[in-house]
Amino acid sequence: MSRPKRILILGPESTGKSTLSEKLAKHFAEPWVPEVAREYLEKLDRPYAFDDLLQIGKQQMQLEDELALQANNYLFCDTDLRVIQVWSQHRYGKVDPWVLEEIARRTYDLILLCATDLPWQADPLREHPDLEMRQQFFEIYKQLSQASGFPWILISGDTAERLSTAIQAVESLKKE
């Protein structure tokens, strides 16, 4: 049995990653890996700390590996350790070595990089509603996508346009 193609949905806060992941999973009748950070942070009774990011990252990768066993052709990943890397560097000025080692070890068949052209959706767990800051984060994710060595494509437009572009990109993987 061949391994499923892993599709990483990446981008700053409030760029439609979870919506896109869920819609792709439904379209292709495959599993998607939800973002672990949300549930983790909702249960936390204090502000998150540097060490929490490592725990979130480890739980995210564990869930990704578990759900990969249920996937036939595709696994849609709503985030990965690059998000932990970016937040850790931004908030604490450092990144746990485990995070960087895992990023180097893991592979994705395609990165769908979500642009900041969707309206901000307020959420108690989101930290940067300012478009300028969101765009700065987008540029970091774009650099990480380019440096990854994996194919990547920009996802922009309204929800329907994003889904259509993403479906075409995923279907193009079949031809490779």
Cβ(111)–Cβ(146) under 8 Å? no
How far does the chain reach from its first CA to its final CA, in angstroms? 18
Say how many C-beta atoms besides its own lie within 10 A of residue 138's C-beta: 21
Residues 6 or more apart from 62 whose CB is under 8 A from it? none
Cβ(30)–Cβ(75) under 8 Å? yes
Which residue segment(s) compose the domain that 165 sits in?
Answer: 5-174
Which tops the pLDDT comparison, 27 or 120?
Answer: 27
Alpha-carbon gap, residue 53 to 109, rounded angstroms = 25
CA R_g for the chain? 15
Cα–Cα nearest to 164, from 173, 156, 174, 176: 156
* pLDDT score at 121: 61
* Torsion sign over Cα 31, 61, 53, 41: positive
How many separate domains does the chain show?
A: 1
Alpha-carbon gap, residue 158 to 117, rounded angstroms = 8
In tens, the pLDDT along 97-128 reads 999 999 999 999 999 999 998 765 655 454 55
pLDDT(49) > 90: yes
Q: Which CATH number does the domain housing residue 104 bear?
A: 3.40.50.300
* pLDDT score at 47: 87
